[in-house]
Amino acid sequence: MTIRLFAAILCACLFAACSPPGNGTGTNTSVAPTATQSSAGNGTVTTTLVGGSNSMMVKVSDVTLCSASAYQNEPCVAVTICQHGTSTCQTVSNILLDTGSYGLRVFSSTLSGLSLTAVNAPNASPLGECAQFGSGNAWGSVVLADVQLGGETASNVPIQLINSSYSTHPASCTSPFTSAASAGFNGILGVGLGVNDCPSCVASTVANYYYSCSGATCTASLAPAASQVTNPVSILTSDNNGIALTLPAIGNNGANSVTGELLLGVGTQSNNTPSASVKTYYADAQFSFTSIYNGQSYNSSNLANGSFLDSGSNFFYFPLKLTTECTGSYYCPNAVTAFTASIESSTGSVTTPINFNIANANTLVNTGNKVFNDLGQQTSGYFDWGLPFFLGRTVYVVMTGKSSTLGTGPLWGF
């Protein structure tokens, strides 16, 4: 799991990628939420909300749920965090919705009114974590909390309190996030394919992950699965196998903001059951599928990060060097340019061509809009289908080992 922050002409760009294991097989069935555009071009574009206790509103770059300085293609939700078993709670908005990581991480400064129980390492000292992100790292303690998502509650969830001043962060945990303002969000809600964020940490001390902290000293530590930062959806009493994310389509010049919906569960209620037209794309043990582009296959078997769907990444990131680029490898073609790449399931024979456009990043930003379906940036090898991919679609995420009407995760459906 990583998340990268690219700060150049476009303020902030977040990219999340994953690792750990899983497998599965299955088919699909019945009714799904649909994205419907209420207006085109500039302004606010809203999907028709299905609603229900398993529903959460998602705002993209909208200051009513993100911050006043929301960056391009930033999907935000609000979560309520409570002291376990009590009604002492705080609701925190400007939480980045990320299908490329797992678990809830919140800046401790946003929870000043709560007293949360520390999770201990196997040696009984408090557990700390360095969650690795490309633009810096989320350093802080692991604590227990009740987490309310929509109208449902995950009880006693290990979450991370991001705090660069917690104990003493290891020298290898470089550039820790120092504040919500500089990071661009109050926290990250990871609802990707994983349940825990470091399965290999159960049996071995993995560099730059979990630490046992005593006073000002932190040393690398094992972390039992039950102690690790955990995808809170997996702990819900129902609707706990994954999520469905619906965002509306927008015009080529973008929109000022977008309103969509996150539904908890896949095939667990009538409002989150995929239609028969939804295809299943299984991920491999590294949580990657295959993207085929220009005759090259991008997957975890031949490239470090493979291919993935990532709402926390605000561009299409793919390996093409255009002759016209903005500073920072952002694509700036002289005219809107059409591309096609295929997404292929890691098992079976499901392959689907995906058509997408890339426009001039400078031109788009100069429109004053914040949400775009045609922003792109060059990568060194991986294929990251970022938030632009989600616009105009319902995307299903089924966690590893969880069964659903689409099959047993880890898998994507759309």
Kindly report, residue by residue over 235-245, the tens digit of the pLDDT.
999 999 999 99
> Is the pLDDT at 20 greater than 70, yes or no?
no
Per the DSSP assignment, residues forming a β-bridge with 75 are 60
Q: What is the DSSP letter of 328?
A: T
Which residue do the tokens 């902290």 mark? Answer: 213
> Distance between alpha carbon 370 and the CA centroid of its chain, in Å?
19
- Calculate what percentage of the chain has a pLDDT beyond 90: 73
The residue type at 324 = T
pLDDT, position 325? 64
pLDDT band at 300 (very low <50, low <70, confident <90, very high): confident
Q: What are phi and psi of 183, to 5 degrees?
A: -75, -30
Mean pLDDT computed over 36-42: 42
Determine the average pLDDT of the residues in 10-28. 27
What is the predicted pLDDT for the residue at 36?
37
Q: Are 116 and 155 in contact (CB under 8 A)?
A: no
Mean pLDDT, residues 75-86: 97
Cα distances (angstroms) measured from residue 255 to each of 44, 71, 315, 334, 359? 6, 13, 15, 21, 14
User: Is residue 256 scored above 50 in pLDDT?
Assistant: yes
pLDDT in tens, 177-200: 999 999 999 999 999 999 999 999
Residue 301 pLDDT more than 50?
Answer: yes
pTM: 0.90
**pLDDT average, residue stretch 327-339:** 85
Q: Domains along the chain?
A: 2-19+45-235 (2.40.70), 242-413 (no CATH)
In whole angstroms, give the CA distance from residue 97 to residue 87. Answer: 25
Q: Which whole number is the average pLDDT over 25-52?
A: 54
- Torsion, Cα 259 265 268 272, to 10 degrees, reads 20
pLDDT of 224 > 50? The answer is yes
Q: What is the average pLDDT value for the chain, to the nearest integer? A: 87
For Cα atoms 156, 160, 165, give the angle at the middle one, nearest 5 degrees. 140
Give the residue-averaged pLDDT of 107-136.
92
Percent of all residues in the chain with a pLDDT value above 70, rounded to a whole number: 87
H/E stretch holding 180: helix 180-183
**pLDDT, tens digit, for every residue of 273-297?**
999 999 999 999 999 999 999 888 9
Q: Does the structure show a pLDDT above 50 at 350?
A: yes
Which among 59, 54, 72 is positioned nearest to 184, based on CA atoms? 72
pLDDT at position 324: 62
**How far apart (Å, rounded) are the C-alpha atoms in residues 53 and 239?**
10
CA dist 365 and 227 (Å) reads 42
User: Is pLDDT above 80 for 95?
Assistant: yes
Closest residue by Cα to residue 127 from 81, 171, 158, 157? 158
With beta carbons less than 8 A apart as the criterion, state whether 373 and 255 touch. Answer: no
Stretch 66-90: mean pLDDT, rounded?
A: 96
- In this prediction, residue 253 carries a pLDDT of 87
Burial class (CB in 10 A: 0-12, 13-18, 19+), 375: buried
Instruction: Look at residue 132 in the predicted model and tell me its pLDDT.
Output: 84
- How far is C-alpha 2 from the chain's CA centre? 10
pLDDT of residue 295: 87
Strand order in the sheet with 296-298: 296-298, 290-293, 337-344, 351-358
pLDDT-based confidence at residue 379 (cuts at 50, 70, 90): confident
- Which run of H or E residues covers position 385? strand 383-385
Give just the sign of the alpha carbon dihedral 92, 161, 76, 277: negative
Reported in sequence order, the residue ranges of 294-346 that DSSP labels E, i.e. its strands, are: 296-298, 307-309, 316-318, 337-344
Nearest CA-CA partner of 213 in 166, 162, 165: 166
